[in-house]
Amino acid sequence: MNPDNKLREDICIHAKSMFDRGLTVGSSGNISALMSDGRLLITPTGSCFGRLDPARLSVLENGRHVEGDAPTKEIPLHTAFFDTRPDTGAVVHLHCSNATALSVLPDTDPDNMLPAITAYGVMRLGKVKLLPYFMPGDDGMGEAVRALGGTRSAVILAHHGPVVAGKDLDTACYAMEELEETAKLILMTRGLSPNLLSPAQIQGLVEKFNVQWDD
């Protein structure tokens, strides 16, 4: 199969899997990935992850819509990661419940939203930054990501949801799922004084798996 056709299929497979498991609902969320020619393949505006059509995904060339249905209005959020993190091959943005709930709690650390409760949370996400509230579609979301200078692969928009960048589609999707599961564990153990990974254990993961941890 042509690699770009496979990418189209894979976006739809991942999207439906996440929709079927309740990680996003209705017409919320968007996914983007680089095609073999450097153009950007992205889910259309108002589309449901459970019913995406590979042939109707949007294609952007140099920021201009050239094929498929009209793209998501949150393009600046995606391009901010591609422009500031050169190893990015895909970006996933969802409105999943646990991560969004964590974003509005007053004692959440905005610089490191997900305490080190599991090894995979550290390995796949690094530190997750809380960004302020923006109206959906506001270009300020992309500007806030750009202001991080490529230091974070994952952020959570307050009152909105998480955004994760990865080297390829699989990596970005799996990291997003890890983020939501970690947020769930944190909420489940909140107020119970859970034993977190120690600084030495975190450092061991950072060194072994080349995790970007320090800003």
Nearest residue to 146 via CA among 155, 134, 158: 155
Q: Mark whether 74 is an active-site residue.
A: yes
Whose tokens are 């692969």? That residue is 153
Which of 160, 143, 153, 164 has the alpha carbon at shortest distance from 209?
153
Choosing from 74, 178, 180, 181, the catalytic residue is: 74
CB-based burial label for 95 (10 Å; 0-12, 13-18, 19+): middle
Per-residue burial over 45-61, b if 16 or more Cβ lie within 10 Å, else e, is: bebbbbebebeebbbbe
3-class SS of residue 68: coil
CA 114 vs. chain centroid, Å, equals 14
Find the catalytic residue in 9, 61, 120, 207: 120
Strand pairing of 129-131 and 90-93? unpaired
Q: Which residues are catalytic?
A: 74, 120
